[in-house]
């Protein structure tokens, strides 16, 4: 029995070597550290990767062996003390490692969107907890750097020249009609660093070629905003209490309200905005039928964010939901996962 447990621990350690190789070359602010020794740059990284992350790359005649770490963790039963989240991370360690390496190679080759997508997918897939902050910092740095460049990105951002009579609202509506991409005027402001809705004829704006959408991970109490497959921002959320659990599934935003009124079914009355008995806070993003009783809203009770106290809705701090409200248009996809 002792030998078996020792084997499991050893296999578990091997499974995370790929993460350590990736993050060891990252500085605390998410940027690549310069190599002082020219002989220890790309060559050594490429030699280390195939054995741990991409066994199939060892050669066409070498059959890919099953991942021993994945097999070891999946063979363990729940009573071992390995939590559900830890088991999820362990089962996907090989895929996440491959995404990190793919993102690193794309970044080094200057393929920004490809690296952004790979890092985003790895982050949402569930990197081990000790790497979450490092990868989040890296994603935020990539997003900020690209937005500061104010330049088109193939497959993500396209240049648009303001026409006579244009407003941000009209541009957003035309973009949806012509490109099929729902767009909020607030997202145009955010992508272009605008402090107001004021624009001028001939001005160049960046518009997304993929829609903004949300992914909520209930196990993490986090809500992620993406453009296409690229991470843009995240916030903490509160979830439904026992008996009113927040449902899993894919939903669409069908209503957007500022300072929403609340209908108290228990008392059969309407509660005005800002009233102490109104739990909806300053914004409401309601889901389409048949789930119109659910949505995303603010709260006066910041301590409830990160807990289970709502009637099934996603609950956010007022300042956070106000930011999200400006960025997310009607028809946006909201995916809620366990």
The secondary structure of 104-126 as a DSSP string is: HHHHHTT-HHHHHHHHHHHHHHH
pLDDT classification of 88: cutoffs 50, 70, 90: very low
Q: Is residue 151 part of a domain?
A: no
**Strand pairing class (222-227; 230-236):** antiparallel
**Whether the predicted pLDDT of 29 surpasses 50:** no
Provide mean pLDDT across the span 224-237: 97
Distance CA 182, CA 334 (A): 13
**Whether the predicted pLDDT of 76 surpasses 60:** no
* Last residue in a domain, options 113, 141, 169: 141
Say yes or no: 114 and 193 in one domain.
no
pLDDT > 90: percent of the chain: 67
pLDDT value at position 23? 62
pLDDT value at position 21? 59
Ramachandran angles phi, psi of 112, nearest 5°: -65, -50
| Domain residue limits at 55 | 2-141
How much is the pTM?
0.76
Q: Report the catalytic residues.
A: 297, 313
**Whether the predicted pLDDT of 296 surpasses 80:** yes
For 265-275, write each residue's pLDDT tens digit: 888 899 999 99
Say yes or no: 123 and 175 in one domain.
no
Give the residue carrying structure tokens 């499974």.
15
Sign, Cα dihedral of 271, 277, 280, 282: positive
Average pLDDT, the chain: 80
**Whether the predicted pLDDT of 78 surpasses 70:** no
Say yes or no: 236 and 178 in one domain.
no
pLDDT value at position 10? 40
Which residues sit opposite 240 in a β-bridge? 310
Q: Is residue 148 part of a domain?
A: no
Mean pLDDT lowest among 6-20, 61-75, 92-106, 267-281: 61-75
Q: Which tokens in the block code for residue 179? A: 């490109």
pLDDT value at position 16? 52
Q: Which tokens in the block code for residue 19? A: 């993460």
pLDDT value at position 188? 98
Say yes or no: 217 and 204 in one domain.
no
* Last residue in a domain, options 191, 208, 225: 208
* Last residue in a domain, options 186, 208, 230: 208
For 127-178, write each residue's pLDDT tens digit: 888 889 999 999 999 999 998 999 999 999 999 999 999 999 999 999 999 9
**Whether the predicted pLDDT of 306 surpasses 60:** yes
Question: CATH number, domain at 321?
Answer: 2.40.440.10
pLDDT value at position 58? 28
pLDDT classification of 17: cutoffs 50, 70, 90: low
Question: CATH number, domain at 163?
Answer: 3.10.350.10
Say yes or no: 136 and 23 in one domain.
yes
The secondary structure of 280-324 as a DSSP string is: TTTEEEEEPTT-TT-EEE--S-GGGTTSEEESSSEE--HHHHHHH
**Whether the predicted pLDDT of 189 surpasses 50:** yes
Provide mean pLDDT across the span 59-87: 34
pLDDT classification of 22: cutoffs 50, 70, 90: low
């Amino acid at each position: 029995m002792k030998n078996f447990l020792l084997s499991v621990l050893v296999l578990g350690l091997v499974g995370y070597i790929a993460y350590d190789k990736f993050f060891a070359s990252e500085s605390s602010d998410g940027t690549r550290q310069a190599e002082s020794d020219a002989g220890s740059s790309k060559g050594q990284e490429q030699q280390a990767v195939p054995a741990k992350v991409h066994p199939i790359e060892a050669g066409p005649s070498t059959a890919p062996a099953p991942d021993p770490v994945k097999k070891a963790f999946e063979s363990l039963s729940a009573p071992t003390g390995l939590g559900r989240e830890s088991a999820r991370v362990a089962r996907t360690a090989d895929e996440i490692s491959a995404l990190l390496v793919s993102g690193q190679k794309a970044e080094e080759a200057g393929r920004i969107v490809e690296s952004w997508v790979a890092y985003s997918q790895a982050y949402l897939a569930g990197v081990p907890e000790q790497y979450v902050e490092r990868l989040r910092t890296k994603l935020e740095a990539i997003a900020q750097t690209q937005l500061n460049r104010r330049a088109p990105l193939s497959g993500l951002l396209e240049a648009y020249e303001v026409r006579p009579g244009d407003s941000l609202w009209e541009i957003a509506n035309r973009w949806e009609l012509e490109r099929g991409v729902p767009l909020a005027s607030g997202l145009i402001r955010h992508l272009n660093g605008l402090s107001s809705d004021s624009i001028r004829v001939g001005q160049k704006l960046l518009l997304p070629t993929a829609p903004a959408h949300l992914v909520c991970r209930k196990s993490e109490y986090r809500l992620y905003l993406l453009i296409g497959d690229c991470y843009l921002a995240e916030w903490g959320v509160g979830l439904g209490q026992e008996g009113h659990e927040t449902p899993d599934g894919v939903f669409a935003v069908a209503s957007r309200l500022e300072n929403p009124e609340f209908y108290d079914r228990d008392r059969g009355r309407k509660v005005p905005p800002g009233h102490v008995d109104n739990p909806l806070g300053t914004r409401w993003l309601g889901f389409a039928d048949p789930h119109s009783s659910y949505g995303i809203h603010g709260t006066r009770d910041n301590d409830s964010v990160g807990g289970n106290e709502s009637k099934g809705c996603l609950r956010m701090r007022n300042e956070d939901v106000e930011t999200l409200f400006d960025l997310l248009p009607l028809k946006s996809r909201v995916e809620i996962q366990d």
